[in-house]
DNA sequence: CTTTCATTTCAAGTTTTATTGAAATATACT
DNA sequence: AGTATATTTCAATAAAACTTGAAATGAAAG
């Protein structure tokens, strides 16, 4: 992950709707969800949802594949992980205070 | 960290200049840097730098304190850590793929 | 090959955010 | 008090992102 990619990812998840889509796709796991299911879940119009999904796709956060008439969107967990690593290492130089928050039993 | 705070933090670090300021303040550590030093380092005008710094301050990422004529800005490492934890736990439900990227020897 | 369903694209208007330079505030020095 | 330094605030402009609804695309079914 480079700076340009990280900036696009941050911009993408700084929208309340898109962050909600991300959380939804985390729960959906590797199966993903169709654009229509996502639209229904977040209560947005199809065109608005499509706009947000292409934003997330351009940011590399999601992948899409057509299944018959529907298009399935899946979260790219590796990209989210790479973003975490970018903050932790490239930005924060492995600062111990920041790093402590990333362990399950961390005092944070 | 709640969703509102996380959204503000993401929006803040989705600007190239502000991400650069964050990295600068990571290296400065607990000493921090004055607004003027930051402006010089990022090559921005004082007013523009001030704008970005108040954005980061509203997002909770930095703290400020006046030292004589200068105002020192410091990164709030705990807030950055809380943001990491928010992505990892609240958003990603501790997904193992994402979590693997947060350990030094992680296969990521 | 027309219809239906799922999704995307487009154009228009609205809102938000960024930039610039000048003026204002706060502190220190003489 | 008056001047210089450091930073912020303000108003105006410019640029980017969001929203809406209508039209277009792609795929399946009759």
Tens digits of residue pLDDT in A69-96? 999 999 999 999 999 999 999 999 999 9
Inter-chain CB proximity A91 and B15 less than 8 Å:
no
The alpha-carbon gap from B107 to the nearest alpha carbon of chain A, in Å, equals: 11
Preferred mutation among B5, B8, B22, B102 to probe A, highest tally of A CBs within 10 A: B102
Strand-pairing partners, residue B52, are: none
Q: Who among A26, A85, A95 is closest to B102 (CB)?
A: A85
Q: Where in chain B are the domains?
A: 3-100
Phi-psi sector, B94: left (phi>0), alpha (psi -120 to 50), beta: left
Residues of A in contact with B77 (CB under 8 A): 92, 95, 97-98
And the tokens for A90?
A: 């490239």
Inter-chain CB proximity B84 and A98 less than 8 Å:
yes
The pLDDT tens digits for B73-107 are 999 999 999 999 999 999 999 999 999 999 887 67
User: Which CATH number is A3-100 given?
Assistant: 1.10.10.10
Inter-chain CB proximity A93 and B15 less than 8 Å:
no
Q: Who among B26, B88, B103 is closest to A95 (CB)?
A: B26
The pLDDT tens digits for A27-85 are 999 999 999 999 999 999 999 999 999 999 999 999 999 999 999 999 999 999 999 99
Which percentage of chain A shows pLDDT scores above 70?
99
* Cα B87 to Cα A77, A107, B104, distances in angstroms: 12, 17, 18
Question: Which residue gives the smallest C-alpha to C1' distance to C4?
Answer: A69
A-chain residue closest to B1, CA distance = A108
Inter-chain CB proximity B88 and A102 less than 8 Å:
yes
The alpha-carbon gap from A50 to the nearest alpha carbon of chain B, in Å, equals: 21
Three-class SS state of A62:
strand
Q: Who's near B31: CB < 8 A, 6+ residues apart? A: B72, B74
Residue located via tokens 């790093």: A99
């Amino acid at each position: 992950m480079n700076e340009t990619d990280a900036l696009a990812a941050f911009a993408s998840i700084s929208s309340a709707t898109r962050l909600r889509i991300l959380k939804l796709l985390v729960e959906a796991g590797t199966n993903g969800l169709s654009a229509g299911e996502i639209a229904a879940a977040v209560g947005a119009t199809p065109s608005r949802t499509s706009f947000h999904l292409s934003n997330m796709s351009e940011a590399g956060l999601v992948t899409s594949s057509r299944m018959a008439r529907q298009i399935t969107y899946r979260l790219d967990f590796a990209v989210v992980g790479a973003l975490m690593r970018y903050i932790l290492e490239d930005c924060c130089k492995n600062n111990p205070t920041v790093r402590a928050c990333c362990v399950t039993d961390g005092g944070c």
